[in-house]
Amino acid sequence: MSYFTDLTWHDYVKDIIDVGIVSFIIYKMILLVRGTRAVQLLKGIFVLVAVWALSTWFNLYTLKWLMNQMFTFGIVTVLIIFQPELRRVLEQLGRGKLFARSYLLDRDAMSEQIDGVIKAVRFMSERKIGALIVFERSTGLSELVESGIRMESKITSELLINIFTPNTPLHDGAVIIRGNQIMAAGCYLPLSENPFISKELGTRHRAAIGVSEVTDAVSVTVSEETGQVSLSLGGMIVRDINEESLISKLFDELTPKTNGRSKERTGVSMWWRRKGGGHG
């Protein structure tokens, strides 16, 4: 108690500023990590810390010894695992972007976003123009965005068609969409190593499945051989999906769930009727 009674108002102000700065830095660090797959790794670390705390509380000596051995090499392991994120933080510090305004999903633009994508997919499917469009969800794709050409452009069917037009610089890679923006084009995606994937599927489809295996992203693929449209989600692929089903699934997966499922599906039906239906 004597410590607090000896403090002056200068000490109180200094402590408040100190805590405020540290809290702000931690908050910004969380925002940086939130845009990457490091979130899942952090959850795993928290689980390990919880197990260590329980082993200490209940005096589980063997489990506690095992956790201590893991934490001994934990710092090196964290540096290796989070190397891309640490590099990203240092780069943003150098560019003065650490305290830039964070990205927020524009929910009101969802219909316009899907409308632009569907128009482009329809055009490319009819002309057998190969395409791969990836929608980012809760698992960030910042590492994959950095592998391509950053655009941060408004989603329009004309821009998507121009990107995937054959013999253009970006047509071979993937387009990554975050919210209502095309974040990057010409991106490299991890290929699926699933041995049960049909041999008929090429690199573009394997990349679509691969990114859906390691993240919760939704991918739309247009085959340049057949013009068929495919949807990849959760490591699975639905081939030759018709336009109405594609629109419905995209709305179902990309629309925030705060308003309930029934309202979402009603919005899908009304939006589809407003567009005048479609073809399979």
pLDDT single digits (tens) 215-256: 889 999 999 999 999 999 988 999 999 999 999 999 888 876
- Where are the CATH 3.40.1700.10 domain residues in the chain? 107-274
Residue 272 has a pLDDT of: 36
Residue 70 has a pLDDT of: 78
C-alpha closest to that of 108 among 275, 262, 276, 267:
267
Are 173 and 187 within 8 A, CB to CB?
A: yes
Q: At what angle do helices 83-95 and 9-34 cross, to 10 degrees?
A: 120
pLDDT single digits (tens) 133-167: 999 987 778 889 989 999 999 999 999 999 999 98
> Span 107-274: which CATH code?
3.40.1700.10
d(C-alpha 78, C-alpha 107), whole Å: 35
Asked whether the predicted pLDDT for residue 16 surpasses 70, the reply is: yes
